[in-house]
Amino acid sequence: MSGFGEYTRPPPPPGPLEYGGVKLVNDADHPFIAPGPGDIRGPCPALNTLANHGYISRNGIESPSNIVHAAMEGFNMNNDLAKFTCYAAFVVNGNLVTDLVSIGEKSAKTGPDPLDQPATIGGLNTHNVFEGDSSMTRADFYDGGDVETFNETLFQGFLEYSYRFGGGRYNLTAAGEYRYKRTQDGIETNPTFTIVAPRLFSAYSESVNPINLWVDGRQDDGQLRLDHARSFFEAARFPDDFHRAARPMSADNEAVVLSIHPIEPGANIAGVNTYTVDRNAPKLNDKCGIFEYHVNHTLRTLYPNPTGDLLDAIRANIHYFYTSVQARGCSEIFPYGRFEDGESNAYYAFPDYPEVELPEYGTFPYPPVEPLTYTDAPAPASAPAPVSTNVAPPAASATVPVTSTD
């Protein structure tokens, strides 16, 4: 429902794609058009890309079910990961009654805010309910409050690490090192630095998404070209002739990135360099725990006592969120109670309730990368030849620093 008229229960998210293979996605039906005045863009380069190509509304205001569909259709993100990411962000940043979220700043276009609840309905830019610290190409909120603008200095770090550790491509080894560096940056310079659920999940997922979802599906080797990285991160634009991933991709290989420099959830508790592990926060591999923590802790803080349509919408959205972890054997939770029809749980009788088709777990098709013994040897001066013959050499090589700054 998006006309701000009478409330209707939000529709369920779509199931997995019927055809989940490689396909041209930068096609004639989805031309790049830069955002116009009033169009909203935000901290997620992939959602910005989907908006710039019309896979979601070009004005940057969308429903979660359409975002899930677009993430699958445009990038071949697997159904569970698309639902997990989208509903985790939507329930804390979106307007649950109108079923709309801004992919960036708060907007009146998502409809009137529910009364008497602490939730700000602030769009995906809102700090510390989903958006968080140590992004790869965006500054921390602490560093001036702008969490959405592409930051060239940070991107140069991304390139440098891709040259030093990835041989001129962004891959799992480079991801492990760069994620560690961004965490250290936060610990050392940001007194408010925190990385607990859901940021722990999103930070690691975002580290591997470019490897899983931005490598052209015909190339399909887990080695992201750096000119393509710039195209997505900076311009929010599919490279010319871009084909989506060859199969629905999860973020399961985030465990490889974590294993390179393991970290437990925590925060700076008394200024910089006071990182302290939060023993109550779920760890990265505990997706059931992350789901429960997000609902029981973050969501309930935002909506302590909803009633009426808002309560109905919250219950429905928690359930949609739950379907993203159902295949992992997680228990459904009902912190706001269930729908009751006297005989059975009416929620399950909702006519549009989808039989959840359990998608295949799209495990990463490459063997785990063994952590290497690194040296500070200078990075190569030029980029390697492209893997496939139908792509041009990485243009970004000219601007990449070739010496270590560590």
Residues forming the site for ligand HEM (CB under 6 A): 43-47, 67, 71, 75, 77, 82, 85-86, 89, 124, 130-132, 135-138, 202, 206, 209-210, 213
Whole-angstrom distance, CA of residue 96 vs CA of residue 4: 11
Quote the least distance from Cβ 193 to ligand HEM, whole Å.
12
Q: Which is nearer to ligand HEM, 137 or 339 (CB)?
A: 137
Question: CA dist 31 to 27, 132, 235, 238, 241, Å?
Answer: 7, 31, 14, 9, 11
- Cβ atoms of 187 and 276 within 8 Å: the answer is no
Quote the least distance from Cβ 360 to ligand HEM, whole Å.
18
Tokens 């997000």 sit on residue: 294
CA 112 from chain centre, in angstroms, equals 26
Quote the least distance from Cβ 44 to ligand HEM, whole Å.
3
Quote the least distance from Cβ 345 to ligand HEM, whole Å.
28
The sign of the dihedral angle between the CA atoms of 267, 270, 275, 277 is: negative
Helix (H, G, I), strand (E, B) or coil at 102: strand
CA 135 from chain centre, in angstroms, equals 11
Whole-angstrom distance, CA of residue 61 vs CA of residue 41: 9
Exposed e or buried b per residue across 222-233, where buried means at least 16 C-beta atoms within 10 angstroms of its C-beta: bbbbbbbbbbbb
Quote the least distance from Cβ 54 to ligand HEM, whole Å.
16
Whole-angstrom distance, CA of residue 234 vs CA of residue 222: 20
Quote the least distance from Cβ 125 to ligand HEM, whole Å.
8
Q: Which is nearer to ligand HEM, 161 or 347 (CB)?
A: 161
Structure tokens given for 269: 């508790």
Quote the least distance from Cβ 380 to ligand HEM, whole Å.
24
Quote the least distance from Cβ 257 to ligand HEM, whole Å.
12
Q: Which is nearer to ligand HEM, 245 or 383 (CB)?
A: 245
Helix (H, G, I), strand (E, B) or coil at 312: helix
Q: Which is nearer to ligand HEM, 210 or 217 (CB)?
A: 210
Q: Which is nearer to ligand HEM, 164 or 199 (CB)?
A: 199
Rounded to 10°, the helix 199-213/172-189 angle is 150
Quote the least distance from Cβ 74 to ligand HEM, whole Å.
7
Beta-carbon contacts of residue 37 (< 8 Å; ≥ 6 apart): none
Q: Which is nearer to ligand HEM, 203 or 379 (CB)?
A: 203
Quote the least distance from Cβ 249 to ligand HEM, whole Å.
9
- Cβ atoms of 183 and 134 within 8 Å: the answer is yes
Q: Which is nearer to ligand HEM, 181 or 339 (CB)?
A: 181
Structure tokens given for 123: 């769009």
Quote the least distance from Cβ 202 to ligand HEM, whole Å.
5
Q: Which is nearer to ligand HEM, 40 or 311 (CB)?
A: 40
Q: Which is nearer to ligand HEM, 70 or 356 (CB)?
A: 70
Q: Look at residues 242, 269, 252 and name the one whose alpha carbon lies nearest to residue 388.
A: 242
Beta-carbon contacts of residue 47 (< 8 Å; ≥ 6 apart): 56, 67, 103, 124
Residue type, 171: N
Alpha helices in 31-98 (DSSP H): 45-52, 64-75, 79-93
Residue type, 246: A
Tokens 């396909």 sit on residue: 23
Q: Which is nearer to ligand HEM, 102 or 339 (CB)?
A: 102
Q: Which is nearer to ligand HEM, 230 or 339 (CB)?
A: 230
- Cβ atoms of 263 and 182 within 8 Å: the answer is no
